[in-house]
Amino acid sequence: MASSTRMVKVILLGDGSVGKSSLMQQFVRNEFNSESFHTIGVEVLNKDVRVGSEAITMQIWDTAGQERFRSLRTPFYRGADCCMLTFDLTDPNSFNNINMWRDEFLKHASVDDVAAFPFLLLGNKADLAEQRQVTAEAARAWCRENGNVPYYETSAKTGSNVEDAFQQAARMLLQHGTQAAPDFDDTVDLKKQRRESSSCC
């Protein structure tokens, strides 16, 4: 009988336009599209990876960073095994908002042990070196103050450090242990919420 690979859930959070969708596309499909659109709610892609001798399927959840989509994304935080907090190295506001993203995740994810939960911090758009506005020192200081969170400077455009960051996520969540998947009833009716959202704004 064929053995099934373990499915793990990784969630990407951060402000709109920091590059969450682009990081997922680069990791899963080795593609970069400079004209990507804002995500509505969530998008999910799977990728099979190996961590040492273990084969796992990473189910990557790309969420909508814009404030107006908050109620569409938060129901999907439950059952996450790892959270990749993402900011744009050229946008200090996106870095200043990382605490807000961490808090929003913890509020909705029902994490058992907050101190041990695997977070990563990604500073994306590293290829735009001349426009950079957040220093590595500031990012590393945040990581130290928040339980020695691993920090990666990535470029979804060139692919730099993208594979390494997701591999690190896989290693951490396997060490930590995976969570129970949420019941189906915990998810939202995205179509309905989309209609409501478009009729009000």
Ligand X SMILES: Nc1nc2c(ncn2[C@@H]2O[C@H](COP(=O)(O)OP(=O)(O)OP(=O)(O)O)[C@@H](O)[C@H]2O)c(=O)[nH]1
Q: Is 185 helix (H, G, I), strand (E, B) or coil?
A: helix
| Distance between start and end Cα atoms, the chain | 52
Q: How far is the CB of 50 from ligand X (least distance, A)?
A: 25
d(CA 12, CA 201): 25
Closer of 20 and 102 to ligand X (Cβ): 20
Which amino acid, 96?
Answer: N
Binding interface with ligand X (CB under 6 A): 16-22, 34, 36, 38-39, 64-66, 124-125, 127-128, 155-157
- The total of other beta-carbon atoms located within 10 Å of residue 84's CB is 26
Q: How far is the CB of 62 from ligand X (least distance, A)?
A: 6
Closer of 5 and 131 to ligand X (Cβ): 131
Closer of 97 and 179 to ligand X (Cβ): 97
d(CA 27, CA 4): 22
d(CA 109, CA 21): 21
Please give the distance of CA 21 from its chain centroid, rounded to a whole number.
9
Q: How far is the CB of 20 from ligand X (least distance, A)?
A: 4
Give the C-alpha distances (Å, rounded to integers) separating 198 from 2, 48, 71, 156: 46, 35, 13, 30
Closer of 66 and 178 to ligand X (Cβ): 66
Closer of 132 and 171 to ligand X (Cβ): 132
Q: How far is the CB of 115 from ligand X (least distance, A)?
A: 27
Please report where in the chains the tokens 């179509």 appear, as a residue: 191
Q: How far is the CB of 21 from ligand X (least distance, A)?
A: 3
